[in-house]
């Protein structure tokens, strides 16, 4: 059930509430979403995605290139006219190489600049809000350094934004230790399909000070053991 029930379907953007994970998103818009499977992911996110399209908001999805066709099929199954949305500039479907792994490697400063460019173009197109959805397995490619990923996620909290950003992590692919740190860099979290305030969130400046400690981790994500499927129930 949603925490509050009001007739808001006709409110002008960006005053329309953002519904996701069984509730209404508040001022904090940076979300880590943990799922056990593709089915689990789309069951929770498709209503959020569909609602954005109906409200005239821009959608930017950054996906695994191997899952691009599946992603489009899932959107169409929800009744979203993907072709029309792309033609009118409402929908950008990007792959990891277009953003996070441009040039074949991850550079967090370049990636932040690209995201800002995407936001700038959307404003020029007349969109006042973007709903970002990113499949985060790109971090497993090319042995991306754990600290670089965590710093990137933490710095996303330094500048408030009205745009909801959903970072999608499928639990079987990430080690338990990494999952705990990822949680600490997101003020909101989806676990078991439910959105909630994250009690483990650490304010970005505090988290970044910790990261600059005397003994920073140097291992890559591929060096970490896969998370147990029973971690989140």
Total domains, the chain: 1
Q: pLDDT by residue for the chain (233 residues), tens digit each? A: 443 333 344 444 557 899 999 999 999 999 999 999 999 999 999 999 999 999 999 999 999 999 999 999 999 999 999 999 999 999 999 999 999 999 999 999 999 999 999 999 999 999 999 999 999 999 987 678 889 999 999 999 998 899 999 999 999 988 888 899 999 999 999 999 999 999 999 999 999 999 887 544 444 454 444 433 333 22
186 within a domain of the structure (yes/no): yes
152 within a domain of the structure (yes/no): yes
229 within a domain of the structure (yes/no): no
6 within a domain of the structure (yes/no): no
Sheet with 165-170, edge to edge strand ranges? 91-95, 58-63, 130-135, 165-170, 30-35, 188-191, 194-197
Among all chains, which residue has been given the structure tokens 């006709």? Answer: 10
7 within a domain of the structure (yes/no): no
5 within a domain of the structure (yes/no): no
214 within a domain of the structure (yes/no): yes
Helix (H, G, I), strand (E, B) or coil at 4: coil
Query: What residues make up the domain containing 50?
Result: 31-194+204-223
CA angle 183, 172, 64 (to 5 degrees): 85
- Model-level pTM? 0.85
**CATH number of the structural domain spanning residue 122:** 3.40.50
233 within a domain of the structure (yes/no): no
Which of 121, 46, 116 has the alpha carbon at shortest distance from 82?
Answer: 46
H or E segment to which residue 134 belongs: strand 130-135
């Amino acid at each position: 059930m949603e925490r509050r029930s009001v007739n808001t379907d006709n409110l002008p953007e960006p005053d329309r509430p953002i519904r996701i994970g069984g509730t209404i998103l508040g001022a904090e818009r940076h979300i880590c979403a943990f799922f056990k499977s593709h089915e689990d992911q789309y069951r929770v996110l498709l209503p959020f995605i569909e609602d954005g399209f109906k409200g005239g908001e821009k959608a930017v999805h950054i996906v695994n290139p191997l899952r691009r066709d599946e992603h489009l099929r899932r959107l169409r199954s929800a009744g979203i006219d993907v072709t029309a949305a792309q033609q009118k500039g409402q929908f950008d479907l990007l792959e990891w190489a277009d953003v996070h792994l441009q040039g074949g490697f991850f550079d967090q400063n370049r990636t932040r600049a690209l995201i800002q460019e995407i936001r700038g173009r959307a404003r020029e197109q007349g969109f006042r809000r973007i709903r970002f959805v990113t499949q985060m397995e790109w971090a497993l490619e090319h042995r991306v350094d754990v600290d670089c990923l965590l710093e990137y996620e933490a710095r996303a909290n330094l500048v408030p934004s009205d745009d909801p950003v959903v970072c999608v992590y499928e639990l079987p692919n990430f080690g338990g230790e990494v999952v705990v740190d990822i949680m600490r860099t997101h003020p909101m979290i989806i676990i078991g399909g439910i959105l909630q305030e994250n009690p483990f969130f650490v304010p970005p400046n505090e988290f970044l000070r910790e990261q600059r400690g005397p003994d920073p981790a140097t291992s890559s994500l591929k060096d970490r053991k896969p998370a147990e499927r029973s971690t989140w129930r």
